[in-house]
Amino acid sequence: MAVEVFILEVDELPLNKRLKTLQDLSTSLEAVYGQAKEGTNSEEVLKKFYDWKCDKREEFTSVRSETEVSLQRLVAWFQNTVKAFDLSVEETQTSEDTVSCLDEILEKTESSICKELEISLIEQGDEDKEVILNTYSQVLQKIRSEERLIATVQSKYKDSIEFKKQIIECFNKSPNVDHLLSIKKTLKNLKARLRWKLVEKNNLEELDDHDGSEIEKIKQEITQLRNSVFQEIYREREEYEKLNSLVQKWFPELPLLYPEIGLLKYMNSGGLLTMSLERDLLDAEPMKELSSKRPLVCSEVNGQIILLKGYSVDVDTEARVIQRAAAYHRAWRDAKEDSGLLPLIFLFLCKSDPMAYLMVPYYPRANLSAVQASVPLTSEEALKVMKGVAQGLHTLHKAAIVHGSLHQNNVFALNREQGIVGDFDFTKSVSQRTSVNMVVGDLSLISPELKMGKPASPSSDLYAYGCLLLWLSVQNQKFETNEDGIPKVDQFHLVGDLFVIYWLETYAVVVAVM
């Protein structure tokens, strides 16, 4: 494989050593010559430097040769002088010849040495400096170019290592839907047994002389079967998530290869939609006091109290509900417990009726309206709760979602210290949600711009948030408003500047998102 060949070749290259050499060289050059010039022509500059160097070398070689000849003549004179004083030599030069020759030799030697020193020590002219600096700039560009090349090779080497790792991982991860199909088969059997037990229980209860112990035994079996169903549904979700990961990384064609498993629906819903859950499988208790707008039922799943919200849907509405609920669910999933949002557990569609059911946790009498009607929050508790609500709005706005339905019945104070924002009606658009007349006490939660017909925005959510915060701060005191319906707060004495501090904090959050 070409990637393996590339990796092996790069392993044999001393890239780090070469890079260190280049860095040291550029550092030393910059210390001597300073800032380099940009944009010089490579071939022309180097050719000019080569010609200049050859001329200088030829000139210096010529002078050096003359100096060498002069010094050799001087050495020869000394040797002759030694012979002149050697008594063993018969023929000797006269002193006049020796002195005359010495004067000429010394003069020539002095001239040659001075010329060589002059060439070596004389300061370079402007033309020479320009040639050297241009060459230095070009060399520095070559160094930088080679450094970039090494960095590119190292980057591609790193990518190749990762690519090889992913290829090996891909070969080892062949998509297999058998486990998911096995879970679905188990679910089908469990649901059939559960339905049969429900029918059996109903038949026994209709008998006049029914056996209470037998019914109780069947109820326990029903509870166990129902818990087993939900355990398998959670296992099914985990398997869907594994397949979703494979689709995202390796096998985008997987949903098309196995359309029967419904993977595409799972992905489009952000993992919220399940096709394995049905309304009649739950031991649901109608919540008549909360069902003024839509059918609500309460049930227990694996020890957790849950609420089922029913939505009447047609073909178009069903798609929009899934899309909006999925966007909300993705926003929650990114931060989960720190999101400040009410989590959505499951979304499922009714097979017999045009209904969609949304499963959420049930917090009895935990909304602000119920809390304030029983034991109102203290200032410190209100601060904690509304800080969580601000985080919830921030999470939604960061995901480009406008809540549009923030009111006292849709904000929850868990344990009187953790505030979360409730979900909204997913069958309605944000403009439809904001058209509902939201009022807390004598205070309207609809912002002035909404009253003027402008579209809902994060700032309109913030306005409702500020009104709720003011309502918590002043309790049941009467409100005065200006001509735009905005409450006048000068009349209230807010402890610790509660209203101002948190209004400004949340305003900063929303503005940052916008």
3-state secondary structure 389-408: HHHHHHHHHHCCCCCCCCCC
Residues spanned by the domain of 206: 175-268
Q: Which of 116, 7, 120 is nearest to 69 (CA)?
A: 116
H helices, E strands: number in the chain:
16, 9
Q: Which of 243, 268, 293 is the last residue of a domain?
A: 268
| Tokens representing residue 150 in the block | 């090494």
- Same domain? For 312 and 372 the reply is no
439, 408 contact by CB (below 8 A): no
- Same domain? For 6 and 135 the reply is yes
Q: Which of 362, 394, 411 is the last residue of a domain?
A: 362
Q: Which of 362, 396, 426 is the last residue of a domain?
A: 362
d(CA 511, CA 503): 12
Per-residue pLDDT of the chain (514 residues; tens, 9 = 90+): 688 888 888 888 888 888 888 888 888 887 877 777 766 556 777 777 777 777 777 777 777 778 888 888 878 878 777 777 766 666 655 555 555 577 777 777 877 778 777 766 666 666 676 667 777 777 777 888 888 899 999 999 898 888 888 777 767 777 788 999 999 999 999 999 999 999 988 888 888 777 778 888 998 999 899 999 999 999 999 999 999 988 888 888 889 989 999 999 999 999 999 999 988 888 888 887 665 666 788 888 888 899 999 888 888 889 999 999 999 999 999 888 899 999 999 999 988 888 999 999 999 999 999 999 999 999 889 989 999 999 999 999 999 999 999 999 999 999 999 999 998 889 998 888 886 668 887 788 888 888 888 889 999 999 899 889 888 887 766 666 666 666 666 655 555 455 544 554 444 444 444 4
Structural domain count of the chain:
4
Q: Which helix (H) or strand (E) holds 153?
A: helix 126-172
- Same domain? For 77 and 116 the reply is yes
- Same domain? For 484 and 506 the reply is yes
CATH number at residue 398: 1.10.510.10
d(CA 507, CA 501): 10
Position 299: which residue type? S
378, 493 contact by CB (below 8 A): no
CATH number at residue 296: 3.30.200.20
Strand ranges (E), 68-149: none
d(CA 200, CA 46): 98
- Same domain? For 242 and 284 the reply is no
Q: Which of 100, 51, 101 is nearest to 73 (CA)?
A: 101
221, 197 contact by CB (below 8 A): yes
- Same domain? For 17 and 160 the reply is yes
331, 341 contact by CB (below 8 A): yes
d(CA 118, CA 124): 11
- Same domain? For 119 and 180 the reply is no
- Same domain? For 387 and 428 the reply is yes
Position 361: which residue type? P
Query: For residue 182, how many C-alpha atoms fall within 13 Å in the half-sphere facing its CB?
Result: 6
Position 67: which residue type? T
Q: Which of 402, 384, 385 is nearest to 393 (CA)?
A: 402
Q: Which residue has the tokens 């020890």?
A: 303
460, 402 contact by CB (below 8 A): yes
pTM exceeds 0.75 for this model: no
- Same domain? For 88 and 224 the reply is no
- Same domain? For 350 and 440 the reply is no
| Tokens representing residue 482 in the block | 């200006």
- Same domain? For 228 and 291 the reply is no
| DSSP type of residue 493 | -
- Same domain? For 10 and 136 the reply is yes
